[in-house]
Chain A
Amino acid sequence: MPTIEVDGFLFAFPDGWLAGKYDDWEFYRSRWLKTWPGSKAVDLIAVAPERTVWLIEVKDYNHPQTEAPSTLPDIVARKVFDTLAALLPARVNAADPAERKLARLSTEATELRVVLHLEQRPPRSRLWPQSVGPANICQKLRKRLKSIHKYPLVSAISEPAQVPWRVVRA
């Protein structure tokens, strides 16, 4: 069962999956960013055996520096777009065999899905059970990503979307 930690969360993927922490890839850090400064990256790429590739971004609003909610859909959409642009070059040019393999499986996928793992800060008001409305974010993401994945998901530990992995705090 591949397990990866991102920003204090442990993502446990089912057996047979291959996953990698894309924004830590040597290809992305040492080569892609030098060619395309400012290019963004999703946190995780995971490929399921049935050839579905999942691009996963993690946001935790318990951290005070997290982006303003109104900017989040555009930020996630940009990360997805930039990651997709880098995957084929990574498949061909990455020096690390593990990165090359995940890039190859990703570009051979027959289905592409996007998930935002969104953790809320604890509620402080009855009017705000969730400080960042998942449905609001999801609706904006659908518009931004409609040519990539028609139904992007917003998930959380307490309210997991229908995703095949488990997430716990590290």
Chain B
Amino acid sequence: MIEYMTVRNLTVFRDADLRFGRNLNVVVGENGTGKTHLLKAAYSVLAVSWEEGRKPNASSPTKTALQHRLADKLIAVFRPESLGRLVRREIVASPRCAIFVECEPRTMSLGFNFSPNSKKEVVFSLSPSQWVGAPPVYFPTRELLTLYPNFQSIYDGHYLEFEETWRDTCRFLGEPPLRGARAEVIAALLKPLEEAMRGKIVLDNSGRFYLKSANGTIEMPLVAEGLRKFGMLAHLIATGRFLDGGHLFWDEPEANLNPALVSQLAKAIVWLGASGVQVFIATHSLFLLRELELLLAHEGGGIDVRFFDLHASDTGVVVEQGPTVNDIGDIRALDEELRQSDRYMKLGA
């Protein structure tokens, strides 16, 4: 798991120190304050370490092996024109972007930096001595089940302007459902999601996803977008992807979901966190925040959760953080609802 991350001069961030929760991390903030960038930075670091470690005959991590791979991953995930474009632009100086990630166990921690002129490699200040064991999973704002057929092979064989997170997640979506002793555990976990979808997600031999229900089998493009997002999570749970911990990064999980589904989604997020997956979400949804608050209150403090509010300042984006939503800055979505009440109260006044 990631315990701390310090970010210097990355895109909108000048200087940010983040202490993450073991189970759940919730990032809020207006558009353009870097929520997705934080998720992508942490994801890229973990993904490179896991990908390198699972290669056949992988040796212990070395700076040489990682410095190009991490640069490539950052470019593929963020999609800048060159690595140096990720460095925050300062008027007075030309600083380096520096990122330090402290993990548990410490042997997986790493730190690196790069300059605005960097093209294809980063400089390591601390290299890990152990690879990340469980893979990170990144869910973008849109579902990937309809995109899945042949996406990974096309992505790997051609140049596409898609972020690599899409390709990475499609790779996991192609895994078969887990069988054996742990299938019962998975079935119990899937039950609420399948009730919400009124069906099961199946991947057929042609490589297409379907929603199989009592009313028949529906091809995924005909299923509501919100349910497809549920389906993406359900299928990865079915493959056992989250049974052994790991990390889930989910950007705006509430996008395209109606409030009833957001309520189910919050339960799934809290369950994943409680089951040992370190979950990171970025959200604009006041409704989702409240669902999480209600669920966490029932957990009675058993879940290690951290909230992060990102807001713009003259010196870059500032991060306020704490263990409850009351410990962070003003929530913009809440302020906007109140301002909307102000406008409504003036109607007919």
Interface residues of A (CB under 8 A from B): 61, 64, 68-70, 121, 124, 128, 131-133, 135-137, 139-140, 142-143, 146
Q: Which of A64, A68, A121, A128 contacts B342 (CB 8 A)?
A: A68
CB–CB B339/A70 < 8 A: yes
Most chain-B Cβ atoms within 10 A of its Cβ — which of A70, A131, A137, A142? A70
Q: Which of B334, B339, B344 contacts A128 (CB 8 A)?
A: B344
> Is B31 interfacial (CB 8 A cutoff)?
no
* A68 contact set on B, CB distance < 8 A: 342, 345
CB–CB B345/A136 < 8 A: no
Interface residues of B (CB under 8 A from A): 290, 325-326, 330-331, 334-335, 337-339, 341-342, 344-345, 347-349
* B347 contact set on A, CB distance < 8 A: 124
* A146 contact set on B, CB distance < 8 A: 326
Q: CA separation between A124 and B349, bound complex, in Å?
A: 12
CB–CB B348/A124 < 8 A: yes
CB–CB B338/A140 < 8 A: yes
CB–CB A142/B342 < 8 A: no
CB–CB B326/A69 < 8 A: no
Q: Could you list 13 A-B pairs, sorted by A, with CB under 8 Å?
A: A61-B345, A68-B345, A70-B335, A70-B338, A70-B339, A70-B342, A124-B348, A131-B341, A132-B341, A136-B341, A139-B325, A142-B326, A143-B330
Which A-chain residue is minimally distant from B331 (CB atoms)? Answer: A139
CB–CB B348/A139 < 8 A: no
> A70-B339, A131-B345, A132-B345 in contact; A143/B326 too (CB < 8 A)?
yes
Q: Which of A133, A142, A143 contacts B341 (CB 8 A)?
A: A133
* A131 contact set on B, CB distance < 8 A: 341, 344-345
CB–CB A64/B334 < 8 A: no
Nearest Cβ in chain A — how far from B322, in angstroms?
10
* B290 contact set on A, CB distance < 8 A: 135, 139
CB–CB A136/B344 < 8 A: no
Q: CA separation between A61 and B346, bound complex, in Å?
A: 11
Closest 3 CB pairs of A and B: A70-B338, A69-B341, A68-B342
Most chain-B Cβ atoms within 10 A of its Cβ — which of A64, A128, A136? A136
Q: CA separation between A74 and B292, bound complex, in Å?
A: 25
